[in-house]
């Protein structure tokens, strides 16, 4: 599933090519998850933003097109209409004749059009935590946010509430770097600070590498990211820990496979 670094890579690629462009034609798959695509017909994209894993395109109609890529969603920009592709769920033809396509094999992605800044209909976005690169993502505040719940740490991170944009890959990477067990239910203040720094580190590295491509994730030009070459824990169970040499193990939390080092990340 695309996480913050993948979504940010998509945003950076699209921003200069979409901002100021008007939608002159639009089509969508009949599912209600994708039909909002046509609500921006005639509107001009003014801002190409992101919050956590959500892309947020502002328009001159004072609305926002909010896109969640789900598990397999891709936004691709073509010079001309695409050839028949059964996985295209929505298209927007722009006034420079380029076509923005939302392709989603498994259909867990979702499009919505909302009044500017009004996310009351998108629960996760309405309650989302701070961006990992902003001043708001402060170690003490992160510690306080984690203290409000006694759910497992990994579950809390995936909820998007303590910090925005973390999914399975970057959660496993950050917890390994910080040497913290993902099943922990409470963290000391110094360990919360260490985890905060590790999250910032893995997110910055992910963006710098153009995201992690395991299967479906592509940039709008169809390219893959390279961060998969730099993963140190995620998906590496059965291989030796780079730090201590112990064999990384696998645990399941919330039906999500988690890799961890039984020595470095002992409880
Ligand atoms: Zn280790």
Is 36 labeled as catalytic in the residue annotation? Answer: no
The domains found in the chain, sorted by start residue, are 4-126 (3.20.190.10), 139-260 (1.10.8.50)
Beta bridge partners of 92: 26, 100
Tokens 């989603």 locate to 104
Q: How confident is the model at residue 82 (pLDDT cuts 50, 70, 90)?
A: low
What pLDDT does 84 receive? 82
Q: How confident is the model at residue 147 (pLDDT cuts 50, 70, 90)?
A: very high
Is 3 labeled as catalytic in the residue annotation? Answer: yes
Give, in degrees to the nearest 5, the angle at Cα 135 between 131 and 138. Answer: 85
Q: How far apart are CA 61 and CA 39, in angstroms?
A: 10
C-alpha 262 to ligand 1 mean position (Å): 7
Cβ atoms 14, 74 nearer than 8 A: no
pLDDT in tens, 200-224: 999 999 999 999 998 889 999 999 9
Is 8 labeled as catalytic in the residue annotation? Answer: no
Helix axes 168-178, 189-208, angle to 10 degrees: 130
C-alpha 239 to ligand 1 mean position (Å): 11
Is the pLDDT confidence value at 119 over 80? yes
Is 250 labeled as catalytic in the residue annotation? Answer: no
Catalytic residue among 53, 110, 196, 218: 53
Catalytic residue among 12, 189, 256, 262: 256
Tokens 């003490």 locate to 140
Cβ atoms 99, 80 nearer than 8 A: yes
Q: How far apart are CA 101 and CA 93, in angstroms?
A: 9
What pLDDT does 263 receive? 98
The percentage of the chain sitting over the pLDDT mark of 70, rounded to a whole number, equals 99
Is the pLDDT confidence value at 81 over 80? no
Cβ atoms 49, 57 nearer than 8 A: yes
Q: How far apart are CA 34 and CA 176, in angstroms?
A: 37
Tokens at residue 125, please? 């976005």
Catalytic residue among 2, 130, 132, 162: 2
């Amino acid at each position: 599933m695309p996480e913050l670094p993948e979504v940010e890579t998509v945003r950076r690629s699209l921003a200069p090519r979409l901002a100021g462009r008007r939608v002159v034609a639009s089509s969508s798959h009949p599912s209600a998850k994708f039909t909002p695509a046509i609500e921006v017909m005639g509107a001009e994209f003014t801002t190409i933003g992101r919050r956590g894993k959500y892309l947020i395109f502002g328009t001159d109609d004072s609305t926002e097109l909010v896109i969640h890529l789900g598990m397999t969603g891709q936004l691709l920009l073509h010079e001309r209409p695409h050839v028949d592709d059964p996985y295209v769920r929505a298209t927007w033809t722009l006034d420079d004749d380029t076509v923005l396509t939302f392709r989603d094999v498994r259909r867990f992605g979702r499009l919505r059009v909302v009044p500017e800044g009004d996310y009351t209909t998108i629960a996760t976005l309405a309650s989302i935590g701070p961006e990992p690169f902003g001043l708001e993502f402060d170690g003490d505040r992160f510690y306080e946010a984690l203290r409000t719940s006694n759910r497992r740490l990994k579950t809390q991170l995936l909820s998007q509430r303590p910090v925005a944009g973390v999914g399975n890959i970057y959660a496993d990477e950050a917890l390994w770097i910080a040497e913290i067990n993902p099943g922990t239910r409470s963290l000391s203040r110094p360990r919360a600070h260490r985890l905060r720094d590790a999250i910032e580190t893995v997110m910055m590295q992910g963006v710098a590498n153009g995201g992690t491509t395991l299967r479906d994730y592509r940039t709008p030009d169809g390219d893959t990211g390279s961060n998969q070459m730099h993963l140190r824990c995620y998906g590496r169970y059965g291989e030796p820990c780079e730090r201590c040499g112990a064999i990384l193990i696998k645990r399941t939390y919330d039906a999500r496979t988690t890799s961890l080092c039984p020595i470095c990340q002992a409880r």
